[in-house]
């Protein structure tokens, strides 16, 4: 046996069986964790596996178990947006941290709308055991439909409902946005405007709803609403449109930090300053806000923890363990110098 290995041959199931003095079937049962093998025999087989440095053939095992040990993360956004937005990096970090201690690998799919059919074909082609979907839009019905045949976990509440349970991990966007607007009002700002996120995405919808609800609670109203796409340029353009209306504004709630920093530039272009003329509060607490001048007051969402919880949930679904359908994480107001 040792001679064969010295000659460069890869150790096989048969070699392990011969080394341990058991049948090939017994080795296979040990490799696959079968309870039908006695502890003493399993110990002998495991010692042979370690001595020969045998690595189980995952492809062969997947034919039997129908498991690929792979999980896809699908982000239906452009590559430029994914790599520019720290939110995605934080979620991926959380997923990867959880999967480190499992046998699962992560495949990331950045998908433009034109390639959605290719993504669906890949996901349903037996290439992965489950999918994580982040940054989904109202029109992404196919992902909810996929959950009928493939375990799917969403990052954020799906806006579409095609029946059955939608498993997702979200932050309390409504409560978080309420704290942002409450802070602006508590600091004496009453002429408030908002740069809302896309209204085909749950965070955009929930944070705008919270803006109006909090104003109403204090007897205030505002139709100073412009919508961006969560990017800095869209925040700058939205701020320019708000200022062009000619109505007084002394406070801005931006639905994410990137748009808040975009608003900074438009405010300065208009000869105004933050926070003396206009206070600004964002949402995320990413490096855009923490390194801005002035540092941005914002709502911290636990993005890394969101990724970790998503990974925990999808592995639980794949392995038929009981999991909660919905996990909602709390946010926290981080007060800095912009409001």
Q: Coil, helix or strand for 111?
A: coil
Nearest to 312, CA basis, from 101, 35, 50, 11? 101
CA distance 37 to 77: 49
More confident residue, 38 or 339: 339
Percentage of residues in the chain having pLDDT higher than 70: 87
pLDDT band at 52; cut points 50, 70, 90: confident
Instruction: Tell me the CATH class for 70-171+303-329.
Output: alpha beta
Residues ≥6 apart with Cβ < 8 Å to 216: none
Q: Per residue in 116-168, pLDDT tens?
A: 677 877 887 788 999 999 977 665 556 767 777 789 999 988 876 545 578 99
Strand pairing of 297-300 and 332-334? antiparallel
CA distance 53 to 182: 61
What fold characterizes domain 2-56?
434 Repressor (Amino-terminal Domain) (1.10.260)
Whole-Å CA distances, 290 to 124, 217, 252, 263, 335: 41, 30, 17, 15, 11
Nearest to 140, CA basis, from 164, 165, 159, 118? 159
Q: Where are the domains of the chain?
A: 2-56, 70-171+303-329, 173-301
Percentage of residues in the chain having pLDDT higher than 90: 61
pLDDT band at 238; cut points 50, 70, 90: very high
CATH of region 173-301: 3.40.50.2300
In the predicted structure, residue 309 carries a pLDDT above the cut 80: yes
C-alpha angle 326/329/330, rounded to 5°? 145
2-56 shares its CATH topology with 70-171+303-329:
no
pLDDT band at 316; cut points 50, 70, 90: very high
């Amino acid at each position: 046996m040792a001679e064969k290995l010295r000659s460069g041959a890869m150790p096989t199931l048969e070699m392990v069986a011969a080394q341990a003095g058991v049948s090939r079937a017994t080795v296979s049962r040990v490799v696959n964790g079968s309870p039908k093998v006695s502890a003493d025999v399993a110990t002998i087989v495991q010692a042979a596996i370690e001595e020969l440095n045998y690595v189980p053939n995952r492809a062969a095992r997947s034919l039997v178990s129908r498991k690929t040990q792979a999980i896809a993360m699908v982000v239906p956004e452009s590559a430029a947006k994914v790599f520019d937005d720290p939110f995605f990096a934080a979620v991926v970090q959380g997923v990867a941290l959880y999967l480190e201690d499992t046998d699962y690998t992560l495949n990331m799919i950045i998908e433009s709308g034109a390639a959605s059919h290719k993504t669906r074909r890949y996901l349903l082609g037996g290439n992965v055991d489950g999918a994580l979907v982040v940054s989904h839009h109202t029109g992404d019905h196919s992902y909810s439909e996929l959950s009928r045949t493939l375990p799917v976990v969403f990052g954020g509440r799906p806006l579409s409902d095609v029946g059955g349970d939608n498993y997702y991990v979200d932050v309390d966007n409504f409560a978080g946005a309420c704290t942002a607007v409450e802070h602006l009002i508590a600091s004496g700002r009453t002429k408030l405007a908002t740069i809302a996120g896309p209204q085909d995405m749950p965070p955009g919808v929930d944070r705008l709803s919270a803006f109006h609800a909090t104003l109403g609670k204090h007897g205030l109203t505002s139709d100073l609403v412009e919508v961006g796409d969560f990017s800095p340029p869209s925040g700058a353009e939205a701020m320019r449109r708000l200022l062009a209306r000619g109505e007084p504004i002394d406070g801005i709630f931006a639905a994410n930090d990137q748009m808040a920093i975009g608003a900074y530039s438009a405010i300065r272009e208009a000869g105004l300053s933050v926070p003396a003329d206009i206070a600004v509060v964002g949402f995320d607490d990413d490096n855009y806000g923490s390194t801005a001048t002035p540092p941005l007051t914002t709502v911290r969402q636990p993005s890394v923890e969101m990724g970790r919880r998503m990974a925990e949930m999808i592995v639980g679904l794949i392995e038929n363990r009981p999991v909660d359908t919905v996990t909602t994480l709390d946010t926290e107001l981080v007060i800095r110098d912009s409001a």
